Amino acid sequence: LSLDDALPICRQRVPQRCPSGHPMSGLIGYAETLRIALVGGASAGKTTYLAAAMLEFERDAEQKRLAVNVVQESSSAYAEVVGALKQGRLPEKTQVSGNPALVTEVQGEKRSRVLYAYDVAGESYESSDEARNLRFLEVPSGLVLLVDPLAIRRVAEEHESELNKMRDAVLPSQEDPGRVLERTVAALIEGGATPQDIPIAVAIAKTDAFGIDGEIEKLRSE
b/e code 47-86 from CB counts within 10 Å (16+ = b): bbbbbebbeebeeeeeeeeeebebbebbeebbeebbebbe
Percent of the residues in the chain that have a pLDDT greater than 70, as a whole number: 74
The per-residue pLDDT for range 105-121, each reduced to its tens digit, is 888 777 778 888 887 76
Residues 11, 21: Cα–Cα separation, whole Å: 18
Closest CA to 26 of 71, 79, 92, 75: 71
In the beta sheet, which residues pair with residue 37? 118, 143
Look at residue 6 in the predicted model and tell me its pLDDT: 43
Can you tell me the distance from the alpha carbon of 59 to that of 55, in angstroms, rounded to the nearest whole number?
A: 6
- Residue 32 to residue 34: CA distance in whole angstroms: 7
Q: Confidence class of residue 13 from pLDDT cuts 50, 70 and 90?
A: very low
pLDDT band at 84 (very low <50, low <70, confident <90, very high): confident
The residues, any chain, with a CB within 8 Å of residue 152's CB and separated by 6 or more, are: 176, 177
Q: Is this structure's pTM higher than 0.85?
A: no
The SS3 of residue 105 is strand
The DSSP code for 216 is H
Confidence check: pLDDT of 127 > 80: no
Dist CA 170 CA 26 (whole Å): 39
Distances (CA, A) of 212 to 60, 117, 175: 28, 27, 19
Q: Which of 120, 114, 111 is nearest to 42 (CA)?
A: 120
